[in-house]
Amino acid sequence: MQDSFSYKDGQLFCDSVPLREIAQEFDTPCYVYSYSQIVRNYHAFDDAFSSIPHLIAYAIKANSNGAILRTLAQEGSGADVVSGGELVRTLAAGIPAERIVFAGVGKRKEELEYALKSRILLLNVESLEELELLQLITAEQKMRVPIAIRVNPDVEVKTHPYISTGQREDKFGLAVPQALNAYRQARDSQELDPIGIHMHIGSQITELWPYRKALAILLSFMKTLVKEDISLRFLDLGGGLGISYTGQPVPTPFDLAKIVLPMIKNWEGTLILEPGRAIVGNAGLLLTEVLYHKVGPRRPLLIIDAGMNDLMRPCLYGASHRFLPTSNPDGKAREIDVAGPVCESADILGSKCLLPQLNSGEYLAIRDVGAYGFSMSSTYNSRPRPAEVMIQGKQAFLIREREDLADLIAKERIPQFLK
């Protein structure tokens, strides 16, 4: 697939815009997204499953910026949300309620009520107590609500344990015996309409066999449900398809379709997929400025102005990202560590990076941070969060202003006894 980030005449570009100019105009750290890459990634999923009724429900948690949501809304995307706040963002961006599914293991009563009021497509129920609360709410409002039950298929995937969601010990969904009881309870309810089944086995999955195994478990369970007089119209396989962070080959949406479509060829209904990282991950990078150089104990140390508060993944998951100079990439490379300014020893954004000599004031681009980059950022060390910019063709658009120091204290209140 075409890559929106490439070198031209020694300068790193996002589509038709030099990234060095973006850094100079909008300052650093700064998240930069390619509009065209997001659109291409979405249509890779949409096209791969075009032969059957389907809904691509973008996972909002990956990146919830309104401009990105509006981009996907205009392309026909649905949304997978996991909080009332994400539902607010999604509706405000123009994604229709009938294309929204709501998952999450800990939905509050007011979030359930808001989802019902909004008349979204499906509520994905994750516990028996949530099912009972939903029955109480719908009985009060005298309405019937379409639901899916999230099933935990107990399938192990090769990913970081923090982003594994489909094993027995994970907190998400219901094991098959519990799920059967939930479907029976919903079937016998006057308020609930069990028309879907949902799973999500993890994130950053770079092999296809876990999908095959988990889907086989769901399809077998669905046969049991038919015998229970429960016929489903929606099959939600969740998301989790990984991207390449280091250049290694990974499965594509078309590879996933080759696994899934033959397995459901005899089932009549709508397939739902919830990609997040695979749509926005490689569409974003983080621009940062080189501040200082140090002699480290093992390797030279490069200090940059982006830290773990801007990009949590390396600290949280031990994740690796590619670092690219925005100018003159062909200098003699050396192995260095890249550290941020945050007062934590964990604030190492890159280890053993092969980079040419970079002077203070030059810029680096950290690749593949469009997913779980800004959305996981914080103001730790009282560092304002960075700006976000979207590139469309030859133009750059500011899609989130950089926070300033005043923003850091704007919501704080001093109690009367301290005045």
Domain boundaries, the chain: 5-33+281-409, 96-275
Torsion-angle region of 307 (φ positive above 0: left; ψ -120 to 50: alpha; else: beta): beta
Is the pLDDT reported for residue 180 higher than 50? Answer: yes
Q: What does the mean pLDDT of the chain come to?
A: 93
Is the pLDDT reported for residue 159 higher than 60? Answer: no
Predicted structure pTM score: 0.94
- Distance (Å, rounded) from C-alpha 131 to C-alpha 317? 33
The pLDDT of 328-334, averaged and rounded, is: 82
- Distance (Å, rounded) from C-alpha 395 to C-alpha 36? 12
Q: What is the pLDDT of residues 122-148, one digit of tens each?
A: 999 999 999 999 999 998 877 889 999
The pLDDT of 10-14, averaged and rounded, is: 95
Q: Please name the amino acid found at residue 198.
A: H
- Distance (Å, rounded) from C-alpha 260 to C-alpha 215? 8
Choosing from 14, 30, 315, 343, the catalytic residue is: 343
- Distance (Å, rounded) from C-alpha 122 to C-alpha 232? 12
- Distance (Å, rounded) from C-alpha 329 to C-alpha 322? 13
pLDDT at 157: 59
Report the CATH fold assignment for 96-275. Answer: TIM Barrel (3.20.20)
pLDDT at 129: 93
The pLDDT of 261-268, averaged and rounded, is: 95
Active-site annotation holds for 30: no
pLDDT at 329: 76
Running DSSP on this structure, what letter comes out for residue 61?
G
Beta-carbon contacts of residue 237 (< 8 Å; ≥ 6 apart):
199, 211, 214, 215, 260, 271, 272, 273, 274
- Distance (Å, rounded) from C-alpha 361 to C-alpha 364? 10
- How many C-beta neighbours within 10 Å does residue 81 have? 27
Is the pLDDT reported for residue 160 higher than 50? Answer: no
The pLDDT of 10-17, averaged and rounded, is: 96
Is the pLDDT reported for residue 366 higher than 70? Answer: yes
Q: What is the pLDDT of residues 53-97, one digit of tens each?
A: 999 999 999 999 999 999 999 999 999 999 999 999 999 999 999
The pLDDT of 11-31, averaged and rounded, is: 97
Main-chain phi, psi angles of 310, to 5 degrees: -85, -35
State the chain's maximal CA–CA distance in angstroms.
Answer: 71
Homologous superfamily, domain 5-33+281-409: Lyase, Ornithine Decarboxylase; Chain A, domain 1 (2.40.37.10)
- Distance (Å, rounded) from C-alpha 234 to C-alpha 324? 43
The pLDDT of 41-49, averaged and rounded, is: 98
pLDDT at 167: 44
pLDDT at 359: 93
pLDDT band at 162 (very low <50, low <70, confident <90, very high): very low
- Distance (Å, rounded) from C-alpha 79 to C-alpha 212? 24
The pLDDT of 185-209, averaged and rounded, is: 93
Beta bridge partners of 334: 355
Is the pLDDT reported for residue 156 higher than 70? Answer: no
Running DSSP on this structure, what letter comes out for residue 381?
G
* Token digits of residue 207: 């092999």
- Distance (Å, rounded) from C-alpha 1 to C-alpha 244? 12
Q: What is the pLDDT of residues 372-382, one digit of tens each?
A: 999 999 999 99
The pLDDT of 16-28, averaged and rounded, is: 97
Q: What is the pLDDT of residues 110-125, one digit of tens each?
A: 999 999 999 999 999 9
Same fold yes or no, 5-33+281-409 and 96-275: no
More confident position, 185 or 139:
185
Rg of the chain on CA atoms, in Å: 23
